[in-house]
Amino acid sequence: MNTQDVLDPKSWAERTCGSVQLHAMRRTRRAVKAATHLAENPLGSLPAQMHTGKETKALYRWLDEPEVTFAALMQPHFQQTREQAAGEDVVLLVQDTTDIDLSHRRKISGVGQIGNERGRGFFVQTVLAVRPQTREVLGCIAQEPFVRIPAPKARTAVSTAQA
């Protein structure tokens, strides 16, 4: 990843999202536009990043389309990072797993337990490709969101006999 790409959100977004396969060019254009806005204000809320209510609504509608998936959006970036890493003599693959805490969102579905028994959310395992000499992050080479599936309750001899 070139330093200029980091400093220029539009160039970075075009390079990273311009080849996403979303079955329609308008969806790809929306990916580039959304990524540009996100990169311009990475710490902002979605409404602040999108600048207007109209843009925020358009983003939510776009994200709700069945073709717009995590895998489809990330695949070009993963491929780009793998190609860049292949040209290096040595690359470190650094992984971390973090949890996304959605406990405050009581009505959300598709989440599992995180942390203590009351925590709700999901995990994301990320693998970054890093040049060891300069510590430059080439990009994300893999990322897997997952939900912890609770173990089945153990059956005791008493409950088995009653069943």
| Higher per-residue confidence, 68 vs 155 | 68
pTM of the model: 0.75
For 2-55, write each residue's pLDDT tens digit. 444 456 899 989 988 999 999 999 999 999 999 999 999 999 999 999 999 999
Torsion over CA: 56, 8, 18, 133 (sign)? negative
**Domain ranges, ordered by start, for the chain:** 1-68, 77-148
**pLDDT of the residue at 12:** 87
**pLDDT of the residue at 4:** 45
Residue 163 CA to its chain's centroid (Å)? 44
Out of 68-72, 110-114, 155-159, pick the least confident: 155-159
Contact (CB, 8 A) for 15 and 32:
no
Segment 45-68 shows an average pLDDT of 95
Distance (Å, rounded) from C-alpha 87 to C-alpha 108?
Answer: 43
Architecture of domain 1-68: Orthogonal Bundle (1.10)
**pLDDT of the residue at 64:** 95
For tokens 């028994």, name the residue. Answer: 117
For 84-116, write each residue's pLDDT tens digit. 999 999 999 999 999 999 999 888 889 999 988
